[in-house]
Amino acid sequence: MRAWWSGSGGRPVRWRTATADLALWASCTGLLAVEVSGLRAAPVPEVVGMALLLAAGFGVRRALPFTALGLAVGAAVLHSAAVVVGAADTFALAYTLPCGALAFLAGRRSERAAPVVALSAAAALTALLVYTAEWVRVGDPRETLTGLTDWALGVLGLVAVVVAPWLLGRYWRWRTELRTAGWETAERMERAREVEAGRARLRERARIATEMHDSLGHDLALIAVRAAALEMTVDGEAPRSAASDLRTAAHGATLRLRAIIGVLREDTGGPDAGPAAEDAAAVVARAVDAGMSVRLVREGPDPDPGAPPGRAVHRVVQEALTNAARHAPGSRVTVRVVREDGAVTVRVHDTGPGAVGAGAGTAGNGSGLDGLRALVEGAGGTFDAGPERRAAGGFAVFARIPDAADAGAPASAEGEGADGPTETERRRSRIRSGARRRLVTALVLPPGLSALVTAAGFLLLWYVGANTVLPREDYARLDVGDDLASVERVLPVFDYRPDPIPGEPPAPPGSACRYYLVRWENGLPPVYRLCFAEGRLAAKDVVARE
């Protein structure tokens, strides 16, 4: 019973679907019982057998939709075969109702077209084999060709009760998915807004961290430089000790600032570049005023400090000087800014810690350089930093920034494809297009197939009818007593076998009669009757039918 119950309190959640299946089964079985009772003298065995088969079909139709459809279609084909061979006198239309219902439900549960195509083809071929066996037994070519129209009518029924409902059910499935996708889209948008709000907070934290790192870190490094210079120039133990304490305090403040920056930058994926109002020369001037030994070399026009390349140059120079002041106090620093070939090249090199800063340099965690790398490479440039490999030693920072650098490039990965359709939009578009295609298929394919089959059936009827008409002039040339061979040379391809004609004149004794249409038309046109006896035409008559 667990399959029928779920949720808190054991609420039944599948009884509704089971009730719907039971109602469909009862409706189909009831309609079949009513129709068969008016057609058969003993309807009970047929109704009971179909009731059991439909019960099995509706019982498995959710787990095995095409198996259930096959049971219903098989019963309809078997019933039509019984009518063809004479075991049943009339086809019951109620046999088609379960086929249509189960085909629609199969389309709602599965997109697979192969089972429906295979099932329809198998049903059509089975019916054709039954018709062929009956035609062979009768041995009448005209009846064979006329019977093909009956088979074509059965194919039309197959399209109407299997193919069309399945296509409609498939469209209904996509329409339901499109309606469900609307609610899913709303839920995704809610989640996306929450995520975007969190990202906005993280970006703001990254921006604050970057500004604090750039400004306060640089200033604290210059304070440490000034304190180191003061420590070397003042006389007396007490002032020198105070300057040393100041330098140590500035260095400790820098370390604490790093810890705060690390917290602010956590999970941000890289800092955002804040605006810089000063160029590289101003940064170098402030470092020189603080006591650093810095030489600036510039080639070409300076980049605009308010433009993305200018802000990137400011960041590189400021961070490189900060690292030199912090890790190589007393070193000589060279800043080279070259603008050529559509790019700005920045190279900052220090000679390593001098005597004044012996033991003062402290290994950093590399977060500042990592931020520079993300900024420069995100703007389309190249970045490198590491110990100088030449004899001069020291540490060098190199960056090449294109003039077309985009300040928002580092953060663009997060919003990549924002100008294009989102994943939700693509999914909705795919579902909408799929539903539209399936609706067009459901509206066009069944009528198209029906039109082809109908055209083929009418063409076949026309061919049979036209080749059953005996032209009036050929009939007039026939005389009683003509031999059979000469008569057959003017006869049409097919003869016509009507039902018994009331008022038909008696045929000559011992003769066999053939009938041919006077003209091809609907209804009951007159027929020519030609009776043969002993290999000769014994009588010719025009028989009217009413």
pTM over 0.85: no
84-99 burial, b at 16+ Cβ within 10 Å, e below that, comes to beeebeebbebbbbbb
- Strand 382-387, strand 293-299: pairing: unpaired
| CA–CA distance, 5 with 14 (Å, rounded to integer) | 7
Architecture of domain 467-543: 2-Layer Sandwich (3.30)
| CA–CA distance, 160 with 82 (Å, rounded to integer) | 21
Cα→Cα distances 127→50, 102, 310, 364, 446, Å: 19, 20, 83, 86, 20
Selecting from 3.40.1710.10, 1.25.40.10, 3.30.565.10, 3.40.50.720, what CATH number does the domain 197-402 have? 3.30.565.10
Highest mean pLDDT among 272-281, 367-376, 427-436, 473-482: 473-482
Helices 423-466 and 164-211: crossing angle in degrees, nearest 10, is: 160
| CA–CA distance, 525 with 178 (Å, rounded to integer) | 58
pLDDT at 270 over 50: no
Instruction: Quote the pLDDT of residue 461.
Output: 76
**Span 390-415, pLDDT tens digits:** 656 788 999 999 987 654 444 333 33
Per-residue confidence band for 424, with pLDDT thresholds at 50, 70 and 90:
low
**Span 168-219, pLDDT tens digits:** 888 888 787 777 766 666 666 677 677 777 777 777 776 666 666 665 666 6
**Span 71-100, pLDDT tens digits:** 999 888 898 888 888 787 788 888 889 998
**Span 307-337, pLDDT tens digits:** 888 888 888 998 888 888 878 888 899 999 9
| % the chain with pLDDT above 90 | 9
pLDDT at 7 over 50: no
| CA–CA distance, 152 with 114 (Å, rounded to integer) | 22
Q: Is 522 helix (H, G, I), strand (E, B) or coil?
A: coil
Q: What is the dihedral of CA 300, 303, 304, 305, to 10 degrees?
A: -130
Mean pLDDT, range 116-127, rounded to an integer: 90
Beta bridge partners of 512: 532
The token duo for 476 is 């007039």
Contact (Cβ atoms closer than 8 angstroms) between residue 514 and residue 495 = yes
CB-neighbour burial class of residue 308 (10 A; exposed 0-12, middle 13-18, buried 19+): buried
Q: List the one residue out of 313, 305, 388 whose CA is nearest residue 351.
A: 388
| CA–CA distance, 400 with 313 (Å, rounded to integer) | 9
Asked if 197-402 and 467-543 have one fold, the answer is: no
| CA–CA distance, 332 with 346 (Å, rounded to integer) | 17
| Average pLDDT over all residues of the chain | 77
pLDDT at 418 over 90: no
Helix and strand counts by DSSP (H, E) for the chain: 15, 8
Mean pLDDT, range 352-371, rounded to an integer: 58
**Span 491-500, pLDDT tens digits:** 988 888 777 8
Domain map (residue ranges) of the chain: 15-191+432-461, 197-402, 467-543
CB-neighbour burial class of residue 188 (10 A; exposed 0-12, middle 13-18, buried 19+): middle
